[in-house]
Amino acid sequence: MAVTVTVQVPGPPGAAPRYDRHVAAGVDEPARVRHLADVLHGGSPETAEEVWRRHPGCAVLAVPGEDGSVHVRFRGGALTVHWEEPAVHGEHRAPDAAALAGSLVHALLATGGAIRR
């Protein structure tokens, strides 16, 4: 399912926060949806290069790794995100790690934040 995501990025001390709004979609969505997405997420490391090539309008691609990490590509770079999954409480599900990492990287890039590896 494609969603519109709004991320609030804290500003420097004394400054207002900045916002990034973008469309995120899974790589298994129909082509018409994927071509609208700023962020694509899902798939596998083996298919990432093909997905990236087929979607030149996509700004960020986030693919889950086998070890629980997320491999994130963006125009001009790449990084790997490592984190522990949050606990699931009752009916609340943990967010999809690839979707979350992709949206956070997009927000940092869109608001002028630095990506440090």
Question: In a structure prediction context, what are the per-residue pLDDT tens digits for the chain, which is 117 residues long?
Answer: 678 999 998 888 999 989 999 999 999 999 999 999 999 999 999 999 999 999 999 999 999 998 889 999 998 899 998 876 555 555 555 568 899 999 999 998 998 876 665
Determine phi and psi for 114, rounding to 5 degrees.
Answer: -90, 135
Residue 9 covered by a domain: yes
Residue 117 covered by a domain: no
* Structural domain span for residue 26: 3-110
Residue 57 covered by a domain: yes
Strands 39-41 and 60-64: parallel
pLDDT value at residue 25: 95
Count of the separate structural domains present in the chain: 1
pLDDT value at residue 89: 54
pLDDT value at residue 96: 85
* Tokens found for residue 113: 């934040």
Predicted structure pTM score: 0.84
Residue 115 covered by a domain: no
Residue 116 covered by a domain: no
pLDDT value at residue 39: 97
pLDDT value at residue 115: 67
- Separation of alpha carbons 4 and 42, rounded Å: 17
